[in-house]
Amino acid sequence: MMMTKQLTDTPIEEKIEAIQAGDIVLQNELLQTYKPFIAKCVSEVCKRYIDPKKDDEFSVGLMAFNDAIFSYKSDKGSSFLSFAKLVVKRKVIDYIRYQQKRLPLLSLDEMNEEEQMENPLVIAAAKEKHQTEAENVQRKEEIILFREKLKTYRLTLEELTKVSPKHRDARESAIRVAYILYQDTQLSEYVYRKKKLPIKKLLKKVEVSKKTLERNRKFIIAIFIVLSNEYVYLKDYLKDYLKDVKE
């Protein structure tokens, strides 16, 4: 009984480290314990009750949760469960997209089976609607997690709307700084640990004045957070800027 209590009281991040080190027994226990969590994540994407014993989507979610166990890195600053939720939802969305490409949609309101099979425009529209709904769930989830992450840096989305650079050149410059910061292991570790910019060390890496760095500090940190985490849709907003930065 004492061992069970100790195992239960152990932070999940410590359990993940043990599993990554080869503890298969603990891995199986964790997968079993978090089946309800996985089912809930999958249900939020599918917008229906998920039966772990019958629904293929649950199996996809279970495998994704297992993948998350081995790809999780505690030094990125996210909790494991927040990270796992993103991984599970993304994998389920990918699975839904794959299924939609392979099979015709078999349930459309107010249409019989023959009409469904003979009306490719309606089928395509229904598939697109379903995919959009699934992506919206993921997008909202990312925003929620991003808000939570900002709080650990004493930032809010409302603040960012006020302090974000107004001109494209200024935004590009700030994003370039954030990318350089993200790419440098030592500077990144400083940000994870201190929750602030290493201004002095960063000045040696970028062609930006100290005054500019301090003025755009919050925006740079926010972009750094996006780059450092599994935010698929938030990163998509940055892809044009990042393309210019990487070139």
For residue 2, what pLDDT is reported? 35
Token digits for 185?
């292991």
Please measure the distance between the N-terminal and C-terminal CA atoms of the chain and give it in whole angstroms: 58
**Angle between helices 80-102 and 120-152 in degrees, nearest 10:** 170
Residue 168 CA to residue 187 CA, distance in Å, equals: 25
Cβ atoms of 157 and 219 closer than 8 Å: no
pLDDT in tens, the chain (247 residues): 333 334 455 788 889 999 999 999 999 999 999 999 999 999 888 888 888 888 899 999 999 999 999 988 877 667 888 889 889 988 888 888 777 766 554 444 444 444 444 445 544 555 556 556 666 777 777 788 888 888 889 999 888 888 888 888 888 899 999 999 998 989 999 998 899 999 999 999 888 899 999 999 999 999 999 888 877 778 877 777 766 665 5
Tell me the CA distances in angstroms from 35 to 23, 29, 61, one per residue in order.
19, 10, 9
For residue 96, what pLDDT is reported? 82
For residue 125, what pLDDT is reported? 54
Task: Tell me the H-state helices in the chain.
Answer: 2-9, 12-20, 24-33, 35-46, 56-71, 80-102, 113-118, 120-152, 157-163, 168-183, 185-194, 199-203, 210-215, 217-228, 232-246
Cβ atoms of 142 and 232 closer than 8 Å: yes
Cβ atoms of 180 and 169 closer than 8 Å: no
The residues, any chain, with a CB within 8 Å of residue 70's CB and separated by 6 or more, are 19, 20
For residue 237, what pLDDT is reported? 78
For residue 238, what pLDDT is reported? 79
Cβ atoms of 182 and 231 closer than 8 Å: no
SS3 209: coil
49 phi, psi to nearest 5 deg:
-65, 135
Residue 51 CA to residue 30 CA, distance in Å, equals: 19
